[in-house]
Amino acid sequence: MEKFFTKRILLLFLSFTPIQGFSWGFFAHEHINRLAVFTLPAEMAGFYKEHLEFITEAAVLPDKRRYVVKNEGPRHFIDLDIYEDSSGITLPQDWKRAVEKYGEDSLMKHGVLPWHLYLMKYELTQAFKNKNPDAILKLSAEIGHYLGDAHVPLHTCSNYNGQFTNQHGIHGLWESRLPELYFESFDFFVGPAMYISNTREEFWSVVFRSQTMVDSVLKFEKSLSEEFSSDLKYSFEERGGTMVRTYSKDFCNTYHLMLAGQVERQMRASVKMIGNIWYTCWVDAGQPDLKDLMKHHLKEEDINEIKQHDDKKDGCVH
């Protein structure tokens, strides 16, 4: 009974939570996955294009699932700033060694994103080896999600929504509001997917690169907030029939200019990296022929999983 009420209260709370993303907003995740398909070589592109809709829509499954799957949350971030050095020299890239050093509870508390990426890379390679079309599509879509998250600077620090610096809402500003406003002006020609010989090292490089951007993400918003009074910083816009308070276009334009293309660069890098990883898994599996998988119909349960969580809003705990 108590459980039932907790669930009801949770659902009520969620339905009143304002729209805000805690990983690239749904908009950006879907576009990133979709665009990555166009980086693939012909031997892969046919199969992925045949299931373009699924690859696009399932890009947000890991976020939707965060409400129902235990241990899902920590896969989306890593608080690199809580570790004693941020150079990556003392932080074990190997999961087992990391557990020995810090303990699993602590690792889960501060996020496991790069370790989880490496596990998924292994699973996707296995799916290609087994020529299992359902697993290939689902794992491709989902690793696309986590790779996207790894490119979001605020997914690599503990002050992920400016909660320690009175900048609440900055997470959604950077990864949802800015991509939605400027997506049309971004250049997504990223060239063909390329093979990555050391994927684990690359995953770690991505999160450390993202972390170097945290300072400007926070500092620029802070200094702009001193220039913009609250009524100029925020405005009201209609979304789905209700008026929601959001960052004003003037504020966003100025912030976006100060960031000098950072959001676009990170979106482009996400697209490129996703294509690279899909391609690398396929090569590591021995380049299986995907032609005979082309006409495969996805399992009902996979399609339904996307619809099942449709009531879940774009927002959750870090």
List interacting residues with Zn ion (CB under 5 A): 23, 63, 76, 149
DSSP reduced 3-state for 247 = strand
Q: Which residue is nearest to Zn ion (CB)?
A: 23
Structure tokens at 294: 């082309």
Q: Minimal distance in Å, beta carbon 76 to Zn ion? A: 4
Report the residue number, 73 or 169, with the smaller CB distance to Zn ion.
Answer: 73
Report the residue number, 146 or 220, with the smaller CB distance to Zn ion.
Answer: 146
Q: Minimal distance in Å, beta carbon 152 to Zn ion? A: 8
Report the residue number, 44 or 140, with the smaller CB distance to Zn ion.
Answer: 140
Q: Minimal distance in Å, beta carbon 113 to Zn ion? A: 9
The DSSP result for 16-35, as a single string, is HSPP--SSS-HHHHHHHHHH
Structure tokens at 73: 């949350």
Per the DSSP assignment, residues forming a β-bridge with 236 are 245
Q: Minimal distance in Å, beta carbon 178 to Zn ion? A: 17
Report the residue number, 142 or 221, with the smaller CB distance to Zn ion.
Answer: 142
Report the residue number, 73 or 133, with the smaller CB distance to Zn ion.
Answer: 73
Q: Are 72 and 62 in contact (CB under 8 A)?
A: yes
User: What's the CA gap between 255 and 84, in Å, rounded?
Assistant: 31
Helix (H) or strand (E) holding 149: helix 133-150
Q: Minimal distance in Å, beta carbon 62 to Zn ion? A: 6
The DSSP result for 181-236, as a single string, is HHGGG------S----S-HHHHHHHHHHHHHHTHHHHHHHHHHHHHHS-HHHHEEE
Q: Minimal distance in Å, beta carbon 91 to Zn ion? A: 21
Contacts of 176 (CB under 8 A, 6+ apart): 19, 20, 21, 24, 25, 27, 28, 314
Q: Are 146 and 75 in contact (CB under 8 A)?
A: yes
Report the residue number, 23 or 56, with the smaller CB distance to Zn ion.
Answer: 23
The DSSP letter of residue 298 is: P
Residue with tokens 């031997």: 43
Q: Minimal distance in Å, beta carbon 188 to Zn ion? A: 21
Report the residue number, 133 or 144, with the smaller CB distance to Zn ion.
Answer: 144
Nearest to 91 by CA among 76, 77, 107: 107
Report the residue number, 33 or 44, with the smaller CB distance to Zn ion.
Answer: 33
Report the residue number, 23 or 33, with the smaller CB distance to Zn ion.
Answer: 23
Q: Minimal distance in Å, beta carbon 148 to Zn ion? A: 7
User: What's the CA gap between 243 and 266, in Å, rounded?
Assistant: 30
Helix (H) or strand (E) holding 132: none
Residue 107: other Cβ atoms inside 10 A: 17
Q: Minimal distance in Å, beta carbon 40 to Zn ion? A: 23
User: What's the CA gap between 315 and 318, in Å, rounded?
Assistant: 9
